[in-house]
Amino acid sequence: ITSPWFSTAFGLIGLCSNLFALCVLLSSSRKLSSQARSSFLVFLCGLVVTDFMGLLVTASVIIPYHFIKFPWARVDPGCHLCNFLGFSMVFFGQCPLLLGATMAGERFFGINHPFSRSTSISKRRAWSVVGLVWGFSCLLGLLPVLGLGRYTLQYPGSWCFLTLLPDTGDVIFCLLFALLGIFSVLLSFIFNTVSVVTLCRVYHDRESVQRRRDSEVEMMVQLVGIMIIATICWMPLLV
């Protein structure tokens, strides 16, 4: 049992960190002439916005509960708040994994098959891809509301999540959520590993090639960091 100020402080740190990161990304995107780098920053912006909104939405329900200990059954007799919070946990949990796999795939084709695309992904197309990821995650989160699986209150009564019970619908939804997340992390690992190996092979070529590869190395370092964090934070839960 800890003070609610403990989770409040970490929530505020997370929100402020994401706001700072978003400001840096928006400032950097205006100065860049490289289209490949610009599209990568769009994906990063999508990731930061997703993380910020995930913290904001979930904390706005969970932290007040720890302060006032409201009776959940009386406040939410129709389970609408519980369904909303469960949807938010699934949506904002799955989005970063899918975005990480999307970013890894985009860099994989950009590094290993640079001539397979006539042009780099434009900013508008990159935002369209981010929108598709959001839409897919939204559809996944709505499945229990539509009848596949259920969202139920979890210990200690401050949050809702998918139901881990041997009901057919619950099992299918749990497996769908877990396998999709595991697949995204593994896909990111494969794409990033191949891309890093490719960059290591060509980085010491001619100086002109090396200069072009410097920004790709920077992007890959960021991607590997995202992949490591996602693996540490999510894989034990998903397994």
Quick one: pLDDT at residue 213?
58
Which percentage of the chain shows pLDDT scores above 90? 42
Query: Given a cut of 70, is residue 2 above it in pLDDT?
Result: no
| Residue found by looking up tokens 């190996």 in the block | 197
pTM for the whole thing?
0.86
- In whole angstroms, how far apart are CA 231 and each of 47, 89, 141, 142, 188? 16, 17, 21, 25, 10
- Categorize the per-residue pLDDT at 119 as very low, low, confident or very high, splitting at 50, 70 and 90: very low
Quick one: pLDDT at residue 176?
95
Tell me the fold of 4-237: Rhopdopsin 7-helix transmembrane proteins (1.20.1070)
Kindly write down the DSSP assignment for every residue of the chain, as one continuous string.
---HHHHHHHHHHHHHHHHHHHHHHHHHHHH---HHHHHHHHHHHHHHHHHHHHHHHHHHHHHHHHHH---HHHH-TTSHHHHHHHHHHHHHHHHHHHHHHHHHHHHHHHHH-TTSSSSPPPHHHHHHHHHHHHHHHHHHHHHHHHTSS-EEEETTTTEEEE--SS-HHHHHHHHHHHHHHHHHHHHHHHHHHHHHHHHHHHTTS-HHHHHHHHHHHHHHHHHHHHHHHHHHHHHHHH-
Q: Where are the domains of the chain?
A: 4-237
Query: Given a cut of 70, is residue 115 above it in pLDDT?
Result: no
- In whole angstroms, how far apart are CA 185 and each of 23, 108, 213? 27, 15, 25
Quick one: pLDDT at residue 118?
45
Is the alpha carbon torsion for 83, 86, 92, 96 positive or negative?
Answer: negative
| Higher-confidence position of 50 and 156 | 50
- Categorize the per-residue pLDDT at 208 as very low, low, confident or very high, splitting at 50, 70 and 90: very low
Dist CA 46 CA 175 (whole Å): 26
2-11, 161-170, 186-195: lowest mean pLDDT where?
A: 2-11
Per-residue pLDDT tens digits for 48-89: 999 999 999 999 988 888 888 888 888 888 889 999 999 999
Inter-residue contact 138 to 145 (CB < 8 Å): no
How many residues in total does the chain contain? 239
Which percentage of the chain shows pLDDT scores above 70? 88
- Categorize the per-residue pLDDT at 32 as very low, low, confident or very high, splitting at 50, 70 and 90: low
